[in-house]
Amino acid sequence: MKPTSAPKTPSDPRSVQLTEDGKLRHFLTLGGLNKEILEEILDTADSFVSMGEQSVKKVPLLRGKTVVNLFFENSTRTRSTFELAAKRLSADVLNLDISTSATSKGETLMDTLQNLEAMGSDMFVIRHADSGAQHFIASQISPNVAIINAGDGRHAHPTQAMLDMYTIRKHKGDFAGLKVAIVGDILHSRVARSQIQALNILGAEEVRLIGPKTLLPQPLEQMGASLYTRMEDGLKDVDVVIMLRLQKERMDGALLPSESEFYRLYGLTTEKLSYAKPDAVVMHPGPINRGVEIESAVADGPQSLILNQVSYGIPIRMAVMSMAVSGQTQQKTKEVAANGAADIEQQGEASA
* Residues 313-322 pLDDT 10s: 999 999 999 9
User: Is residue 202 domain-shared with residue 127, that is, in the same domain?
Assistant: no
Q: How confident is the model at residue 37 (pLDDT cuts 50, 70, 90)?
A: very high
**Within-domain flag for 6:** no
More confident of the two residues 152 and 102: 152
Tell me the one-letter amino acid at 240: V
Confidence at residue 106, expressed as pLDDT on a 0 to 100 scale:
54
The CA–CA distances, whole Å, from 235 to 187, 272, 308 equal 19, 8, 22
Confidence at residue 6, expressed as pLDDT on a 0 to 100 scale:
36
User: Is residue 105 domain-shared with residue 19, that is, in the same domain?
Assistant: yes
> How does the average pLDDT of the chain come out, rounded?
85
Residue 243 confidence (pLDDT) above 70 = yes
Encode pLDDT of 39-68 as tens digits.
999 999 998 998 767 777 899 999 999 999
DSSP three-state, residue 317: helix
Confidence at residue 200, expressed as pLDDT on a 0 to 100 scale:
97
Confidence at residue 23, expressed as pLDDT on a 0 to 100 scale:
87
Q: Is 250 known to sit in a ligand binding site? A: no
Note down the domain range covering 114.
13-155+311-341
| Contact between residue 67 and residue 326 where contact means Cβ atoms under 8 Å apart | no
Q: Is 25 known to sit in a ligand binding site? A: no
Which parts of the chain fold into alpha helices (H)? 13-17, 35-49, 76-88, 109-118, 133-140, 158-172, 190-201, 231-234, 259-266, 270-273, 296-299, 306-326, 330-351
- Alpha-carbon span 1 to 78, nearest angstrom: 51
* List of residues 6+ apart from 241 with CB closer than 8 A: 180, 181, 183, 235, 268, 273, 276, 280, 281, 282, 283
SS3 content of the chain, % helix, strand, coil (to 5): 45, 15, 40
Count of the separate structural domains present in the chain: 2
**Within-domain flag for 3:** no
User: Is residue 190 domain-shared with residue 249, that is, in the same domain?
Assistant: yes
Q: How confident is the model at residue 254 (pLDDT cuts 50, 70, 90)?
A: low
The CA–CA distances, whole Å, from 316 to 88, 125, 246, 323, 325 equal 12, 14, 25, 11, 14
Confidence at residue 343, expressed as pLDDT on a 0 to 100 scale:
54
Confidence at residue 26, expressed as pLDDT on a 0 to 100 scale:
95
Residues β-bridged to residue 189: none
User: Is residue 149 domain-shared with residue 18, that is, in the same domain?
Assistant: yes
**Within-domain flag for 218:** yes
Q: Is 157 known to sit in a ligand binding site? A: yes
User: Is residue 109 domain-shared with residue 126, that is, in the same domain?
Assistant: yes
- Alpha-carbon span 121 to 62, nearest angstrom: 12
Confidence at residue 115, expressed as pLDDT on a 0 to 100 scale:
86
Q: Is 245 known to sit in a ligand binding site? A: yes
Q: Tell me the whole-structure pTM to 2 decimals.
A: 0.87
Encode pLDDT of 190-231 as tens digits.
999 999 999 999 999 999 999 999 899 888 888 899 999 999
**Within-domain flag for 351:** no
Share of the chain above pLDDT 70, in %: 82
Encode pLDDT of 141-151 as tens digits.
888 899 999 99
| Segment 243-252 mean pLDDT | 72
User: Is residue 285 domain-shared with residue 218, that is, in the same domain?
Assistant: yes
User: Is residue 213 domain-shared with residue 115, that is, in the same domain?
Assistant: no
User: Is residue 234 domain-shared with residue 130, that is, in the same domain?
Assistant: no
User: Is residue 112 domain-shared with residue 219, that is, in the same domain?
Assistant: no
Q: How confident is the model at residue 4 (pLDDT cuts 50, 70, 90)?
A: very low
- Alpha-carbon span 281 to 277, nearest angstrom: 9
The CA–CA distances, whole Å, from 158 to 11, 75, 110, 249, 279 equal 18, 15, 23, 21, 27
Confidence at residue 332, expressed as pLDDT on a 0 to 100 scale:
62
User: Is residue 143 domain-shared with residue 175, that is, in the same domain?
Assistant: no
* List of residues 6+ apart from 104 with CB closer than 8 A: 98
User: Is residue 105 domain-shared with residue 182, that is, in the same domain?
Assistant: no
**Within-domain flag for 346:** no
Q: Is 167 known to sit in a ligand binding site? A: no
Residues in the chain: 352
Confidence at residue 30, expressed as pLDDT on a 0 to 100 scale:
96
Q: Is 105 known to sit in a ligand binding site? A: yes
**DSSP string across 86-126:** HHHTT-EEEEE-GGGSGGGGT--HHHHHHHHHHTT--EEEE
CA 351, chain centre distance (Å): 38
Encode pLDDT of 266-305 as tens digits.
999 999 999 999 999 999 998 899 999 999 999 999 999 9
Confidence at residue 112, expressed as pLDDT on a 0 to 100 scale:
80
**Within-domain flag for 217:** yes
Residue 7 confidence (pLDDT) above 50 = no
Residue 82 confidence (pLDDT) above 90 = yes
Confidence at residue 75, expressed as pLDDT on a 0 to 100 scale:
81
**Within-domain flag for 347:** no
Of 174, 175, 194, 151, the residue nearest 33 (C-alpha): 194
Encode pLDDT of 87-126 as tens digits.
999 999 999 877 555 455 556 778 888 888 888 899 999 9
**Within-domain flag for 90:** yes
How many CA within 13 A on the CB side of residue 120? Answer: 6
Read off the CATH number of the domain in which 111 is found. Answer: 3.40.50.1370
Confidence at residue 104, expressed as pLDDT on a 0 to 100 scale:
53
User: Is residue 88 domain-shared with residue 179, that is, in the same domain?
Assistant: no
Of 154, 147, 242, 238, the residue nearest 193 (C-alpha): 154
